[in-house]
Structure formats: C-alpha cells, structure tokens
C-alpha cells in the first residue's frame, strides 16, 4: 500500500500504465533477445533473463539508465538504423510498439514488477520568485543622454544577432553593425547608441543588476573582444580578450568579476574583469563554443558547443561538475532560470531541455518543439532547430526556432502562447515587467509582442 502511494506522488506520469519488467518487458526479451543474452548463452556477458542481471548489464557495462532511454545502450542498439549494427542481428527491427514499451519502461524508471518503486528520484523544480538570486536595485540603471555616434553606412539592416533587455528597467539593447542601439521598451523608441567599432556584436547581455552591458563579438577570423559598458553613462568599463576570431559566446558573472568567452577556438577562457587577467581555460569542448552562461548565484558556469556538448563547471576554478548529455546537434543557446534551479538549453536538434542544475537531470526534454509544417512533396527531416531561449522573471521560458515561431512555455513544459514571425527570428528577450516579448530577426527587425495574461 505504501508503495502505491509513493508512485502516485511521483512527478512523472508513472501510473498503472508504466510498463514493468515482469509483466511487459520480459516477454519481449524472451521473444527477441534471450536466446543469446539469457540463461543459456550470455553473448558479451549479458544476461537479461532476470531483472537483477539485466540491471547489471554486460561486459561493456550497464545497458539501461533509469529515466534516460536516450542514454541507454539497450534502446540505442535496438533502434540503430544501420542494419549491420542493430540488435537483434540479421532480423528486421523489433516492432515499433515493442520498442515504445521498452522506452516507456526505461523512462518510467525501470520497474521490476507492478508493485515496484520507480528508480527515479522525486524532484521539486517549481519556481519560487522569492528565491531569485538577483535583487531589484533601488535605482535600476537607465542611460542618461548618450553622446551621438557615427554608425557605419549599411546596405540593409544587420540581422539582429543579439539583443537583451534589462532585468529591472524598460531598456533594450540591440546589435547593429559596429554599434548597439538602446531602446525604451515602454515607448519602443531609440534612446541612444553605443559604439562597437570592434565589429559585429554576437552576444549582448545585461548584468544581473542591470547596471552593466556586456557586448561580445568582433570580425570573423580577424579579431574578437568583450566590452563592458556602464549603462547609465555609456562609458567603457573594461575590454576583455584579444581573440583571433569573432567571439560567438560570452557571459558576465553576477558580481561582474568574471567574463567567460569562447568561439571557433573550441576553448572557453575565463577572465577577471578587475585586472583583465585570464584565470583559467576550459579545453574539453571538441567543437566551436556556441553558448556560455553563469548561474545567477555566480557559482556555476555552463558552456555548450556545436556538436551538442554541454558541461557545468565550478565558476571560480573551472573544475568540471557535470556533463549534460542529451543534445545531438549544435546547441544554440543556454539560459538559467533566475532562481538558479533550472538551466534551459536549446539547439539545432529541435530540443528544448530544462535541466535540474543540482544533478544534471533533464526534467523536461521537449523534442520537435519548433517543427515547421511539412509542405507536400517534402520528405526527410525538416530543419527544426531552436535558435534562442530566455527565462523571464516569473520562470517562464521563451524560445524561437527555425519554424519562425516564438513560443512561451510554463515550468511544466506546456506551451502558454505562440506567435509567428515573418523573418527567421534569431533572438528573444522579455521586458522587465513581463508584459512584452521582444523578437529580433534575420531581416534586422525588432518586434515587440504584447503578452496576454
């Protein structure tokens, strides 16, 4: 009876329908696998004839990870598209309904029998605004009268490659060719410009308290730099990095003391803003660094790359904390929820993942979140990448993708609202009041989208 209660309270939908080994899985294994991986013969040291032995795995280690079919060898090998690698050998693929059952069994926590407890830990990832790491400053920074600057002549607007809203003020910073445009999000008018002669701003981020604007970018395969601006005066506070290529990813820590940057060099470099010294390097990534984000409390650094690699590091020293394996293609953006409990990652594999930052668990893994409509005569995989993501101050997540749609999700991963953009949206932000979303797109347009309750 107690067992039953425990199941009822699990945050996952582990209802009576969740498959278990004895009733659902063993008959499938008997049919497809046990001849070679059972009591009589244990190819590769694997015996799946009983639950305990199946959990132990084969000579290559565990074959199932509770809750993670995507990380389970068993699931991978029965769904391998390559006829020569797939199990069972020399046979057609196991029927889809059986594969689905095995997937549900793994994702449901590897129940042994109907009375068993899921191996999945109970977790509470609800959002409490009071837990926000940042505290609203007494006088949120707004720019004064900034000196006029000369912006270069352009043939057409630069795509809005980056953009950010102040967390506490009605302020928006938008990337332009060799400059940043500042807008008042209430009036939606331009209030000033900041020069960025270094080139194209690929990353724009306000500091957690809204007083500093970090701009990173440069000229492709020539130079890259991170510049910190004082929001009120527009003065340059610091310049960090002297890269050989435009910086693609960067972030500023909440205490303004650290800047992390990366790009085509595949290395993440972390600098001190006080003396410009490089503190440490992260060389684990095997491809271009595409996104970097400090946690709101400044203790953790998340870094992502173009092959889907995502790692969490101790922000002070650069020691590895967790590797978050799930993305199968380039990660395009990372963002921390303001309470620091969840990290969101989005990428070209079409996934949005809400990670529990405590243990790196993908609490919600949403695939095909931005799938474009299939036109007749079009086959194969559609490009469904998710290009940008931001949490707002209420814990809601906004994403934009290659389907040209902006979507907003609640903390359970349910879509709250959506809006179609004409050009390909590249970046998104929510104004500090939470009343509007701002979308920057490939045509160089900045669009304010009024969110309804």
Q: List contacts with other proteins (CB under 8 A).
A: 83-84, 90, 152, 154-159, 161, 177, 199-200, 202, 219-222, 244, 246, 264, 287-288, 306, 378-381, 383, 424, 426, 442, 444
Q: How far apart are CA 78 and CA 94, in angstroms?
A: 7
For the CB of residue 362, give the shortest distance to other proteins in the complex, in Å.
25
Alpha-carbon dihedral 77, 82, 87, 89, rounded to 10 degrees: -160
- Residue closer to other proteins (CB basis): 176 or 362: 176
For the CB of residue 378, give the shortest distance to other proteins in the complex, in Å.
7
For the CB of residue 383, give the shortest distance to other proteins in the complex, in Å.
7
For the CB of residue 365, give the shortest distance to other proteins in the complex, in Å.
24
- Residue closer to other proteins (CB basis): 156 or 277: 156
- Residue closer to other proteins (CB basis): 210 or 224: 224
For the CB of residue 291, give the shortest distance to other proteins in the complex, in Å.
13
Question: Token pair for residue 184?
Answer: 């008042």
Say how far residue 328 (Cα) sits from the centre of its chain.
12
For the CB of residue 443, give the shortest distance to other proteins in the complex, in Å.
9
The three-state secondary structure class of 65 is coil
- Residue closer to other proteins (CB basis): 57 or 401: 401
For the CB of residue 292, give the shortest distance to other proteins in the complex, in Å.
16
- Residue closer to other proteins (CB basis): 140 or 157: 157
Question: Token pair for residue 105?
Answer: 């069994």
CB contact at 8 A, 364 and 354: yes
HSE (CB half, 13 Å, CA atoms) of 179? 16
* Residue 408, CA distances (Å) to 85, 362, 391 in order: 40, 19, 9
Q: What is the largest CA-CA distance in the chain?
A: 82
* Closest CA relative to residue 238, chosen from 254, 221, 256: 256
For the CB of residue 407, give the shortest distance to other proteins in the complex, in Å.
19
- Residue closer to other proteins (CB basis): 61 or 380: 380
- Residue closer to other proteins (CB basis): 192 or 199: 199
For the CB of residue 421, give the shortest distance to other proteins in the complex, in Å.
14
Sheet holding 405-409, edge to edge: 386-391, 397-401, 405-409, 415-420
Question: Token pair for residue 319?
Answer: 């020691």
* Residue 161, CA distances (Å) to 203, 251, 446 in order: 8, 15, 11
* Closest CA relative to residue 331, chosen from 267, 371, 392, 389: 389
- Residue closer to other proteins (CB basis): 151 or 419: 151
Alpha-carbon dihedral 319, 227, 324, 388, rounded to 10 degrees: 170
- Output b/e per residue, 57-74; b: 16+ Cβ within 10 A: bbeeeebbbbbbbbbbbb
* Closest CA relative to residue 250, chosen from 346, 162, 136: 162
């Amino acid at each position: 009876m107690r067992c039953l209660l425990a199941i009822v309270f699990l945050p996952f939908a582990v209802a009576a329908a969740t498959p278990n080994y004895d009733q659902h899985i063993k008959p499938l294994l008997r049919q497809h696998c046990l001849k070679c991986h059972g009591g009589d013969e244990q190819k590769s040291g694997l015996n799946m004839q009983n639950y305990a032995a199946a959990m132990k795995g084969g000579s290559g280690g565990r074959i199932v990870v509770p809750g993670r079919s995507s990380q389970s060898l068993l699931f991978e090998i029965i769904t391998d598209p390559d006829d020569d690698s797939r199990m069972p050998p020399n046979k057609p693929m196991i029927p889809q309904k059986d594969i689905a059952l095995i997937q549900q069994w793994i994702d449901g926590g590897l129940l042994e029998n109907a009375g068993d407890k899921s191996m999945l830990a109970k977790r509470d990832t609800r959002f409490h605004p009071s837990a926000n790491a940042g505290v609203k400053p007494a006088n949120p920074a707004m720019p004064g009268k900034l000196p006029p600057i000369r912006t270069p002549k352009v043939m057409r607007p630069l795509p809005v490659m980056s953009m950010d809203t102040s967390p506490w003020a009605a302020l928006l910073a938008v990337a332009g060719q060799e400059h940043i445009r500042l807008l008042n999000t209430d009036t939606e008018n331009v209030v000033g410009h900041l020069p960025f002669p270094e080139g194209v701003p690929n990353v724009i981020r306000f500091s957690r308290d809204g007083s500093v604007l970090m701009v990173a970018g440069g000229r492709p395969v020539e130079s890259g730099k991170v510049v910190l601006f004082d929001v009120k005066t527009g003065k340059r506070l610091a310049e960090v990095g002297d890269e050989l290529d435009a910086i693609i990813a960067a972030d500023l820590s909440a205490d303004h003391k650290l800047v992390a940057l990366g790009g085509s060099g595949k290395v993440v470099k972390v600098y001190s803003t006080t003396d410009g010294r490089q503190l440490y390097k992260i060389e684990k990534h095997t491809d271009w660094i595409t996104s970097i984000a400090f946690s709101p409390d400044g203790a953790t650094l998340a870094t992502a790359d173009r092959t889907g690699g995502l790692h969490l590091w101790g922000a002070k020293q650069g020691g590895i904390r967790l590797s978050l394996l799930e993305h199968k293609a380039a990660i395009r953006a990372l963002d921390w929820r303001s309470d620091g409990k969840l990290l969101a990652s989005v990428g070209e594999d079409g996934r949005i993942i809400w990670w529990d930052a405590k243990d790196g668990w993908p609490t919600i893994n949403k695939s095909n979140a931005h799938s474009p409509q299939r036109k007749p005569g079009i086959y194969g995989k559609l490009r469904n990448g998710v290009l940008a993501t931001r949490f707002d101050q209420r814990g809601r997540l906004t994403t934009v993708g290659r389907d040209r749609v902006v979507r907003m999700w609640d903390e359970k991963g349910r879509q709250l609202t959506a809006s179609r953009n004409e050009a390909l949206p590249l970046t998104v932000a929510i104004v500090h009041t939470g009343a509007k979303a701002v979308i920057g797109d490939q045509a160089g347009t900045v669009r304010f989208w009024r969110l309804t309750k």
